[in-house]
Structure 1
Amino acid sequence: MTSPILIDLPIRGMTCAGCAGRVERALQQVPGVSSASVNLLAERAQVQYQGASPQALIDAITACGYQVPQEALELQISGMSCANCVGRVERALAQVPGVLTVSVNLASERAHLQLLGTADPQALLAAVVAAGYQASLLNAEEPPAADPSQSLQRERWSLLLALGLALPLLLPMLVEPFGLHWMQPAWLQFALATPVQFIFGARFYRAGWSAVRAGSANMDLLVALGTSAAYGLSLYLWWATPAGGMPHLYFEAAAVVIALVRLGKYLESRAKRQTSSALRALQALRPAFALRLQDGREEQVAIGSLQRDDVIVVKPGERFPVDGLIIEGSSHADEALLSGESLPVAKHPGDAVSTGAINGEGRLLVRIRALGGETQLAQIIRLMENAQAGKAPIQKLVDRISQVFVPVVLAIALLTLVGWLLAGAGLQVALLNAVAVLVIACPCALGLATPTAIMVGTGVAARHGILIKDAEALEIAHGVHAVAFDKTGTLTSGSPQVVHLQAVDGNHEQLLQLAGSLQQGSEHPLAKAVLSACSDRNLSLSAVTASQALPGKGTRAELGPRTLALGNRRLLDEQQLPTGVLGKAAEAWEAEGRSLAWLLELAPQPQVLGLLAFGDSLKPGARAAIQQLQALGIRCHLISGDNQGSVNAVADALGIDERQANVLPADKLARINALKQYGRVAMVGDGINDAPALAAADIGIAMGSGTDIAMHAAGITLLRGDPRLVPAALAISRRTYAKIRQNLFWAFVYNLIGLPLAAFGLLNPVLAGAAMALSSVSVVANALLLKRWKANLSEDDE
């Protein structure tokens, strides 16, 4: 029977005694709550409960319309060796008052916690220590101060010394196939094996003893028990053999197993370090100093000394230390590590720059807009850390299996010992076979199978500009059957452009040059589209006079002796001019949902000169994205609030059969829910109106060029507005999930094959130790093969 827990809950939003009373009554109605009192002035609720969960208390408060502040915290955990260790740390942390959720990652050796504002970090550290491990707080804004290569170097020297002592013990076994029967004296074997057993093997005793004290078992306990049994048996046989006799000792089994397990852990540590290389690369992008411009003088200051709206100088070749806006200078920025964009991006006054990007050839003055944890780089790092710390749904099944795995192995080892003794094989044979059972079992491979694949998968995705919010999003995305696209800003550029033009006399460039001359100085979106088209074609514009806006109809101006006008159908009808040969083109373009502008000559000879059609042009790569999705067997849908003609034009150009137009934001949500009846659905969008649909879909994919609300609602964010990243995101998800399944298969196969072989005496402890070390290394190495994946960013197939 557990004792009652007293928890102190902070509450925000209460304004009167009635609020406090309402919260108090709601808490008292939660099953398991024995008492609850609310202090309005302190904005606190003290609750005593037993059997209830903190989340149930929070739900009761939020149901009343108030908020309970929460915060995230990360701990660095050391000393874990297998999935059982992960489970024990999670259970220890979950029992600390104020902890809502906890997820421990064996590969990154981190614990990610969601806490109430009143949780005590020191109590969390004490809980980890009490469970037999070490813990320290992590500062989310700064990279870890400790250099992982130093601990790896110490581990390498310990490994070399252990191997140097163990290999001489293995020599007799190595030369026996050549007909040489030779064995070192017992005293020499003892002298070589003892330091390995109790100095280099001390870590297994410490961790195993911590597990026993916590009422659990782990891989270290298996190694400690197995090697101690072999070492102890050797001591007994040496003591029981008469003077002058040459007993068969098993010091080499104990020493070599420890050396091989240490070798496996070293190789595993090296491989695990590579799994987080993408995250370390992002952390390394943050400069420590900046050049601040103050009173006309440049001074180098620490990043922590800067404030919003300060002006800094960024010289050619330097990294941008902050997020900001360029106020002077022009250059190019290399944003490859941030967005995956391989080519430098042109930057001019008014353009935004991001922390970590590399300035090209120009000296820039930048006004600070975001610092520290508010920068885009810091947000990307946080999202990556959350994704790598979280657990995919499949990992929860593995955790449940690992909790019973070690006790089952201990039972199998005991049955092996008793079985061989009952069969009359003798203590030596029975004990060695039991030792082999203990050594071959490898729950660490099970614990590493999923997190290593997720860490590598999210890392390689980030290098391509694909930011995956959590492990669940990564796993869900592999099973997507349909993708629903918004149109504007997702598959199209989101701004009007000249998509068609036709001149009566066939001179299209002169038509565009005249229209551009009329639109000089105008800020209208269609005017900007005309001027942009002129700029793309390097057309020189003529000076006009007497320019006049025609409200609701267009604009007019004089060009030498001619009076020209550019406007809509109302202007054309007002002038009573026939459309002539342009009539059919106008009908066709209007059916596509295009906006039309007629170029007219009003004097000296009234006539229609030409017609321009404006529309939202397709993004580069949109056609290739749809083709790649269809090649993956994924159905594509276009769901847009635009008119039917515009939607049909885009859908026909991209080869999308399922299209729906004039869809309101609330209706988008209903359409997504309807599609989910036939399988998993991904929604791709970029606007505020897409956020409900992004959240409702099985997996939301937000364009990074869109709004923050859309990005927060989505499980995957594309840091570039490239539609080809959509099939790339689903492809890396499929590849990562395949690696998870492969890793779990191999982790189980090692044990399913190795345990029976060891129990039936077909596997000696030395080979069992080698197989155990190989299992962990092979799982991590298989995950690292994901780093070879590259996104297919080929151009549209014509």
Structure 2
Amino acid sequence: MSMSTVTLNVGGMTCASCVRRVEKALGASPGVRSAEVNLAAETARVELEHPTDLAPAAAALGKAGYPVTMTERQLQLQGMTCASCVSRAEKALLSVAGVIHAEVNLASEQARVTMLPDTDHQALLQATERAGYSGRWLDESRAGVEDPAQGRLVRERRHLVGAAILSAPLALGMIPELVGVHGWMAPPIVQLLLASVVQFYFGARFYRAAWHAVRNLSGNMDLLVAIGTTAGWTLSTWHLLNAAAGDMPALYYEASAVIITFVLLGKYLESRAKGQTLEAIRALTALRPDTARLRSPEGDRLVPLEQIRPDDVLVVQPGERIPVDAQVMEGGGHVDESMLTGESLPASRQPGDTVSAGSMNQDGVLIIRTLAVGHDTMLSRIVRMVEGAQASKAPIQRLVDRVSAVFVPIVLGIALLTWLIGSVVIGGEQALLNAIAVLVIACPCALGLATPTAIMVGTGIAARNGILIRDAQALELAHRVDTVIFDKTGTLTVGKPELLAFDTLPGTDAGQALTWAAAIQKHAEHPLAAALLRHAEAQQIDPRPANDFRVLSGRGAGGRVDGFQLWLGNRTLMREQGVSLEEWEDLAASHEARGRTLSWLAVDDGEVRAVAMMAFADKLKAGAARTVSQLATLGIDSWLISGDSEAAAAAVGEELGIRHVEAQVLPEDKARHVATLRKQGRVVAMIGDGINDAPALAAADVGMAMATGTDVAMHSAGITLMRGDPTLVPAALDISRHTWRKIRQNLFWAFVYNSLGIPLAAVGLLSPMMAGAMMAASSVSVVANALLLRRWKPESP
């Protein structure tokens, strides 16, 4: 029994009675041998029977109202191949003193470790290394160091190509035999050499994984591959060594080599999908600038971001990203915060307003006071949410592995009984051949092809129709989706404002007013200015720029045109210029109720008055309404969850017929809505395009990202819609249903061949040559069935 002593930082202790309650809670916790509580330091020194007893002790204190201070960190592991690896890695992490909880995700090969603040992080890495899984912390800077996951992907691709090249001569020689024609076959010694390299060099990973499975008393796909291919290779080699001079022995090297090659293909595709996790984290952290412009008595100077502390005063120039969470002290302008809110329009930020790290300052100089840096910023919280959502997903236990856990010992038992009983009844040599024939027919050729071939064909035809399915987990879950959550901006809408109305006062020349407005916006860079200029161009108006043009940050712009002083901007600017908007209020209220953004054009022609009002909004994408209708036909419930205003979100929901609408939702709240729906038993798909959608995309059962959006969203999603067309959402669900159906059909036929062939081989009615033929036939049927997916087409408009 290994003793462990830890010191806990306990919150909430205020008096002597608190000490007694803490001691009582710890004393009742199993595994706690003694506890020494210090009220002044708010700590408890606890002696545990075993490190794993820390978790119930911490839970007991939390339940008593005295939470233990703890930290959480994400660990990227390597070398995990099956479900038994999860328990081994978790056991290794929990054996380290100070670890409260460890959750390992097989799909992403990540571990989320909850621990005491003073836990030895290096000891955690050493513990996983001893268990056979090397690892590194996701939040560590790796500048100039090769990404291990990328290196592994390159190595797996190299092994796949090598195995395919060596297997090709063996497979090509086998094809004529399938139709009863004797074709060219490589000399036996050449077959032995080619197959041996594939078997023992490129297939070495399966032997290592099989050993882990045996040591943990479990069965998996890798163990099936190792047993089956070794049986085929051994039988072939035995025939080769015992063949009479001049005879052509029965060889099955091609079966073993092709199995290994196809399974390597599946492993490569899986590893490529797993790489999405780290890419999402890198894309998020890339939004944070490396330097900040610090204001000091000596002047402004660029310093590394690591040197910035709360309350430091920073200067952010136009076109620069804001490096920290901060409050605006001086200046003003428009800030692109789409990464947080999803809103396509930049937000006006004036003194007293807050800004977030990673946002883009579009115009105006901002003097800001630092509120939060590093791990405490909103951007860092989004990073941690993406990491946490991806790591907390339950590992997908693939159907093949579940069946293999039972199938492998059964096959081994049948082979052993075949040999033992046959040795008594028909003689030892024939019994051994029958036993090997059992292993040969049980070799998971069709089983190994069933999933990767269907995925290859399904994802290929989907990609040709603009749907990129990035990992098998998304494919496995998408066919069960019953709830779809849409982001608004850039997903259901175009993502940039359009001028929907240009209203003028009676008696005002609309063409003249539009010319004046376009002149003011001729050289402005605001998205609303671009929308106005597009409208003017459509009206064949090409005005000259205004004189004395100036940007009024966060309010609008002004200038002189045709001798008149003009102002174009929001209510704040109109109020500053003393312009009355009373006669516009009814019309303005109508536009604002539909979530539109308003600007006014004011002219000084003796009196300052507003002569025109412009209404801007983000237009719906062409296929948005049809998408919601198709989902409803499929029995799928649609939700709209947006960071935009309530009026804008409600208007879109009403127009599309979406009953469930939530507005002004921040990233963590989007992920919380997803989690709530999943707790209700729903299978949720999240559709988004922005950085603000990344946590929800990662938290959903299936994340679908628009390729017209950010890289972060795409890396966080299992499916990418390449054209940014919402009608691809029901199409993606449909192709996943077809592909999943093919996978199940393939697995069924693969097991039918095994179920029929094993008893025939066991009683000696199936020769090794026939066993090889049945394996080939099962593979052909599986591939042919998967190829039927090529006939799939998305529903026509």
The normalised TM-score by structure 2 is 0.58
In structure 2, C-alpha distance between the alignment counterparts of 1:590 and 1:119, rounded to whole Å: 55
Query: Following TM superposition, by how much is the alpha carbon of 1:248 offset from its aligned partner in structure 2, in angstroms?
Result: 7.9
Moved more, 20-29 or 190-199: 190-199
Aligned residue number for residue 665 of structure 2: 686
Aligned residue number for residue 61 of structure 1: 61
Q: Which amino acid aligns with 2:733?
A: R
Mark the CA change 1:18 to 1:427 in structure 2 (over 3 Å): closer, same or farther: same
The alignment covers a number of residue pairs equal to 698
Query: Following TM superposition, by how much is the alpha carbon of 1:221 offset from its aligned partner in structure 2, in angstroms?
Result: 3.9
Instruction: Pick from 437, 443, 452 the counterpart of residue 433 of structure 1.
Output: 437
Instruction: Pick from 204, 210, 213 the counterpart of residue 211 of structure 1.
Output: 213
Moved more, 411-420 or 723-732: 723-732
In structure 2, C-alpha distance between the alignment counterparts of 1:306 and 1:754, rounded to whole Å: 67
In structure 2, C-alpha distance between the alignment counterparts of 1:19 and 1:454, rounded to whole Å: 62
2:104 is equivalent to residue 70 of structure 1: no
Aligned residue number for residue 568 of structure 1: 582
Mark the CA change 1:393 to 1:534 in structure 2 (over 3 Å): closer, same or farther: same
2:748 is equivalent to residue 749 of structure 1: yes
Find the residue that maps to 1:60 and give its secondary structure. helix
Instruction: Pick from 266, 269, 280 the counterpart of residue 268 of structure 1.
Output: 266
| 8 Å contact kept, 1:238–1:247 | no
Query: Following TM superposition, by how much is the alpha carbon of 1:434 offset from its aligned partner in structure 2, in angstroms?
Result: 1.7
Mark the CA change 1:21 to 1:408 in structure 2 (over 3 Å): closer, same or farther: farther
Mark the CA change 1:178 to 1:54 in structure 2 (over 3 Å): closer, same or farther: same
Query: Following TM superposition, by how much is the alpha carbon of 1:771 offset from its aligned partner in structure 2, in angstroms?
Result: 8.8
In structure 1, C-alpha distance between the alignment counterparts of 2:451 and 2:105, rounded to whole Å: 11
| 8 Å contact kept, 1:7–1:48 | yes
2:134 is equivalent to residue 135 of structure 1: yes
Q: What is the correspondence of 1:644-663 to structure 2 with a 5 Å cutoff?
A: 650=651, 654-656=655-657, 658=659
Query: Following TM superposition, by how much is the alpha carbon of 1:738 offset from its aligned partner in structure 2, in angstroms?
Result: 3.6
Q: What is the correspondence of 1:33-44 to structure 2 with a 5 Å cutoff?
A: 33=31, 35=33, 37=35, 39-40=37-38, 41=41, 43-44=43-44
Mark the CA change 1:231 to 1:44 in structure 2 (over 3 Å): closer, same or farther: same
Mark the CA change 1:214 to 1:534 in structure 2 (over 3 Å): closer, same or farther: closer
| 8 Å contact kept, 1:293–1:312 | yes
Mark the CA change 1:9 to 1:635 in structure 2 (over 3 Å): closer, same or farther: same
Q: What is the correspondence of 1:459-470 to structure 2 with a 5 Å cutoff?
A: none
Q: Percent identity?
A: 19
Aligned residue number for residue 505 of structure 2: 503
Deviations 1:542-592 (A, max 9, x none): 7679xxxx99x96886xxxxxxx61438xxxxxxxxxxxx99979988998
Aligned residue number for residue 576 of structure 1: none
Moved more, 231-240 or 447-456: 447-456
In structure 1, C-alpha distance between the alignment counterparts of 2:208 and 2:408, rounded to whole Å: 17
Q: What is the correspondence of 1:50-199 to structure 2 with a 5 Å cutoff?
A: 57-63=57-63, 64-78=65-79, 80-81=80-81, 83-84=82-83, 86-87=85-86, 89-90=88-89, 92-93=91-92, 96-97=95-96, 98=99, 100-105=101-106, 110-117=109-116, 124=124, 128=128, 133-142=132-141, 144-146=146-148, 147-148=151-152, 151-152=155-156, 155=159, 159=163, 163=167, 167=170
Aligned residue number for residue 410 of structure 1: 412
Q: What is the RMSD computed on CA atoms of the aligned residues?
A: 7.8
In structure 2, C-alpha distance between the alignment counterparts of 1:374 and 1:238, rounded to whole Å: 68
Find the residue that maps to 1:630 and give its secondary structure. helix
Mark the CA change 1:324 to 1:754 in structure 2 (over 3 Å): closer, same or farther: farther
| 8 Å contact kept, 1:701–1:726 | no
Query: Following TM superposition, by how much is the alpha carbon of 1:116 offset from its aligned partner in structure 2, in angstroms?
Result: 1.6
Q: Which amino acid aligns with 2:755?
A: P
Moved more, 379-388 or 706-715: 706-715
| 8 Å contact kept, 1:685–1:703 | no
Find the residue that maps to 2:134 and give its secondary structure. strand
Find the residue that maps to 1:114 and give its secondary structure. strand
In structure 2, C-alpha distance between the alignment counterparts of 1:494 and 1:189, rounded to whole Å: 62
Query: Following TM superposition, by how much is the alpha carbon of 1:531 offset from its aligned partner in structure 2, in angstroms?
Result: 14
Mark the CA change 1:28 to 1:585 in structure 2 (over 3 Å): closer, same or farther: same
Q: What is the correspondence of 1:246-645 to structure 2 with a 5 Å cutoff?
A: 252-253=251-252, 255-272=253-270, 274-275=272-273, 389=391, 391=393, 395=397, 403-414=405-416, 426-440=430-444, 475=477, 479-481=481-483, 501=503, 503-505=505-507, 507-508=509-510, 566-568=580-582, 618-621=617-620, 625-633=624-632
Aligned residue number for residue 21 of structure 2: 22
Find the residue that maps to 1:216 and give its secondary structure. coil
Q: Which amino acid aligns with 1:505?
A: G
Q: Which amino acid aligns with 1:267?
A: L
In structure 1, C-alpha distance between the alignment counterparts of 2:214 and 2:485, rounded to whole Å: 51
In structure 2, C-alpha distance between the alignment counterparts of 1:70 and 1:596, rounded to whole Å: 47
In structure 1, C-alpha distance between the alignment counterparts of 2:54 and 2:78, rounded to whole Å: 24
Question: Which residues of structure 2 form unaligned runs of 5+?
Answer: 329-334, 522-526, 537-542, 547-559, 679-683, 714-720
Mark the CA change 1:732 to 1:555 in structure 2 (over 3 Å): closer, same or farther: same
| 8 Å contact kept, 2:105–2:391 | yes
Question: Which residues of structure 1 form unaligned runs of 5+?
Answer: 327-332, 521-527, 558-564, 570-581, 659-680
Deviations 1:64-122 (A, max 9, x none): 152441312323322x55x355455456447535262433435x6x2323332366556
Find the residue that maps to 1:407 and give its secondary structure. helix
Q: Which amino acid aligns with 1:75?
A: Q
In structure 2, C-alpha distance between the alignment counterparts of 1:71 and 1:444, rounded to whole Å: 38
Find the residue that maps to 2:217 and give its secondary structure. coil
If you compute each CA radius of gyration, which structure gives the higher value, 1 or 2? 1
Aligned residue number for residue 553 of structure 2: none
Find the residue that maps to 2:113 and give its secondary structure. strand
In structure 2, C-alpha distance between the alignment counterparts of 1:632 and 1:148, rounded to whole Å: 40
In structure 1, C-alpha distance between the alignment counterparts of 2:687 and 2:165, rounded to whole Å: 53
Find the residue that maps to 1:620 and give its secondary structure. strand
Query: Following TM superposition, by how much is the alpha carbon of 1:684 offset from its aligned partner in structure 2, in angstroms?
Result: 5.8
Q: Which amino acid aligns with 2:46?
A: Q
In structure 1, C-alpha distance between the alignment counterparts of 2:24 and 2:90, rounded to whole Å: 31
Mark the CA change 1:739 to 1:70 in structure 2 (over 3 Å): closer, same or farther: farther
Q: Which amino acid aligns with 1:136?
A: G
Find the residue that maps to 2:46 and give its secondary structure. strand
In structure 2, C-alpha distance between the alignment counterparts of 1:176 and 1:535, rounded to whole Å: 66
In structure 2, C-alpha distance between the alignment counterparts of 1:20 and 1:534, rounded to whole Å: 70
Q: Which amino acid aligns with 1:566?
A: S
Aligned residue number for residue 556 of structure 2: none
Query: Following TM superposition, by how much is the alpha carbon of 1:424 offset from its aligned partner in structure 2, in angstroms?
Result: 5.3
Find the residue that maps to 1:271 and give its secondary structure. helix
Query: Following TM superposition, by how much is the alpha carbon of 1:505 offset from its aligned partner in structure 2, in angstroms?
Result: 2.9
Query: Following TM superposition, by how much is the alpha carbon of 1:745 offset from its aligned partner in structure 2, in angstroms?
Result: 1.8
In structure 1, C-alpha distance between the alignment counterparts of 2:210 and 2:643, rounded to whole Å: 62
In structure 1, C-alpha distance between the alignment counterparts of 2:288 and 2:516, rounded to whole Å: 53
In structure 1, C-alpha distance between the alignment counterparts of 2:279 and 2:70, rounded to whole Å: 32
Find the residue that maps to 2:103 and give its secondary structure. strand
Find the residue that maps to 1:113 and give its secondary structure. strand
| 8 Å contact kept, 2:289–2:323 | no
Mark the CA change 1:323 to 1:475 in structure 2 (over 3 Å): closer, same or farther: farther
Aligned residue number for residue 675 of structure 1: none
In structure 2, C-alpha distance between the alignment counterparts of 1:430 and 1:395, rounded to whole Å: 33
Find the residue that maps to 1:566 and give its secondary structure. coil
Query: Following TM superposition, by how much is the alpha carbon of 1:235 offset from its aligned partner in structure 2, in angstroms?
Result: 7.5
Find the residue that maps to 1:406 and give its secondary structure. helix
| 8 Å contact kept, 2:325–2:378 | no
Aligned residue number for residue 667 of structure 1: none
| 8 Å contact kept, 2:48–2:54 | no
